[in-house]
Amino acid sequence: MKKRNTDFLVLGSGIAGLSYALKVADYGKVLIITKSKLEETNTSLAQGGIAAVIDKLDSYNKHIVDTIDAGAGMCNPEVVKMVVSKAPKLIHDLINWGANFDKDEKGDYDLAKEGGHSEHRILHHKDNTGFEIQRALTERVKSHKNITILENYFAVDFITQHHLNIKVNRKSGNVECYGVYALNRKTKKVETILSKVSFVATGGLGNIYETTTNNEHATGDGIAMVYRAKGIIENMEFIQFHPTSLFNRGERPSFLITEALRGFGAVLKTQDGKEFMQKYDNRESLAPRDIVARAIDNEMKISGTYSVCLDAQNINDEKLKSNFPNIYKKCLSIGIDITKQCIPVVPAAHYSCGGIKVNINGQTSIKYLYASGENASTGLHGANRLASNSLVEAIVFADSAAKHSLQNLGEIKSSIPVWDYSGTSHTEEMILITQNFKELRQIMSNYVGIVRSDLRLYRALRRLVIIFKETEKLYQCSILSDDLCQLRNAVNLSYLIIKMALNRKESIGLHYNIDYPKK
pLDDT band at 425; cut points 50, 70, 90: confident
**Given 289, 385, 441, 456, the catalytic residue:** 289
H or E stretch including 482? Answer: helix 482-503
Task: Judge whether 385 counts as a catalytic residue.
Answer: no
Q: What is the largest CA-CA distance in the chain?
A: 68
Q: What is the value of pTM for the model shown?
A: 0.94
Residue 402 CB contacts under 8 Å (≥ 6 apart), including other chains: 20, 23, 24
Q: How many separate helices (H) and strands (E) can be counted in the chain? A: 13, 16
Residue 385's nearest CA partner among 359, 355, 363, 361 is 355
Domains and CATH numbers, the chain: 3-237+353-405 (3.50.50.60), 247-348 (3.90.700.10), 430-478+481-503 (1.20.58.100)
pLDDT band at 428; cut points 50, 70, 90: low
SS3 label, residue 112: strand
pLDDT at position 280, please?
A: 96
The type of residue at 336 is I
φ, ψ of residue 217 to 5 degrees: the values are -90, 0
SS3 label, residue 124: coil
Is the CB of residue 227 less than 8 Å from the CB of residue 492? yes
H or E stretch including 268? Answer: strand 267-269
SS3 label, residue 83: helix
What is the mean predicted confidence (pLDDT) over 456-478? Answer: 95
Comparing 3-17, 316-330, 425-439, the range with the smallest average pLDDT is: 425-439
CA angle 438, 230, 478 (to 5 degrees): 45
Residue 421's nearest CA partner among 473, 474, 480, 469 is 480
- Cα(first)–Cα(last) distance of the chain, in Å? 53
| Tens-place pLDDT, residues 91-134 | 999 999 999 999 999 999 999 999 899 999 999 999 999 999 99
pLDDT band at 172; cut points 50, 70, 90: confident
In this predicted structure, the answer to whether residue 427 has a pLDDT above a threshold of 70 is: no
Residue 290's nearest CA partner among 392, 390, 385, 391 is 385
